[in-house]
Amino acid sequence: MLSRTDWPGQCLICRAWPAATLCPRCVARFGAPVPRCEGCALPLPLPAGAARCGACLREPPPFERCLVAAGYGWPWARCIGQFKFRGDPGLAAPLAAMLVAAPGVAQALAEADLVLPVPLSAERLSERGYNPAQLLAQAMAPGRVRTGLLLRPRHTPPQHGLPRAERLKNVRGAYAVDPPKAPLLHGRRVALVDDVMTTGASLREAARALRDAGAAHVTALAFARTDEP
């Protein structure tokens, strides 16, 4: 298993030495904020005259806002792949720092009563050994993350590689709130954290389960978002 010690004092992107794991120069160059729809986090065409895209105005998502740090392209797709699929949980801290610095995220975390990671199924968690969304959430909000409240009782095939229609179908009904803990959600504000958002199917289904259980407000947070619906 790889770890942060494989790049001691070296930027993962530009290989500058010595440097932070994600050096400030690369973060500024490749992670500059762009105008995004506050409903689905897709880039909005410039000039950004509205806060939401047409799709979110026609069919509002089950969360009030969706905030991301970067687009899911180079170099962030590579960083997420290292973090998520190649056993490098140490990347949680620098990725979380970027997400907290994204517009609106720090305020959303401060206003949240509960910070919940999107859960993995038991099978996926056993296979991977850790939940990337949980590590991001814990790095962003130490001591405030609740696990075991939002569950993923149904195992599904991985979302990556599936076409949009199959992604939407794949996670339908995949999330549930633990019934004895449901009263904790009544009237509360929730920050829902995931690592990557593609079609948004997972975040939508998870947010829908929270709202159905009584959550008053859900803000979705993800490190990266694909720039196509």
Predicted pLDDT at 45: 80
Answer for the pair 38, 192: CB distance below 8 angstroms, yes or no: no
Q: What is the mean pLDDT of the chain?
A: 89
Is the per-residue pLDDT at 225 higher than 90? Answer: yes
CATH classification at residue 130? 3.40.50
Residue 25 maps to a domain: no
Dihedral pair phi/psi, residue 225, rounded to 5°: -135, 130
- Count of domains observed in the chain: 1
Is the per-residue pLDDT at 170 higher than 60? Answer: no
pLDDT in tens, 116-168: 999 998 888 988 899 999 999 999 999 999 999 999 987 665 555 555 555 55
Residue 164 CB partners (closer than 8 Å, separation 6+): 199, 229
* Residue 166 or 101, more confident: 101
Residue 15 maps to a domain: no
Predicted pLDDT at 228: 77
Predicted pLDDT at 58: 94
Instruction: Report percent pLDDT > 90 for the chain.
Output: 73
Residue 1 maps to a domain: no
pLDDT in tens, 51-71: 899 999 999 999 999 999 999
Q: Could you tell me where the beta strands, DSSP code E, fall in the chain?
A: 65-71, 114-117, 150-151, 176-177, 189-197, 217-225
Residue 29 maps to a domain: no
Average pLDDT on 103-128 reads 94
Number of residues assigned to the chain: 229
Residue 42 maps to a domain: yes
> What pLDDT band is residue 1 in, cutting at 50, 70 and 90?
very low
pLDDT in tens, 174-205: 899 999 999 999 999 999 999 999 889 999 99
Predicted pLDDT at 7: 44
Is the per-residue pLDDT at 171 higher than 80? Answer: no
Residue 191 maps to a domain: yes
Predicted pLDDT at 191: 98
Residue 49 maps to a domain: yes
Q: What's the pTM value of the predicted model, to 2 decimals?
A: 0.89
Q: Is 173 left (phi over 0), alpha (psi -120 to 50) or beta?
A: left
Supply the range of the domain harboring residue 96.
36-225
Residue 82 maps to a domain: yes
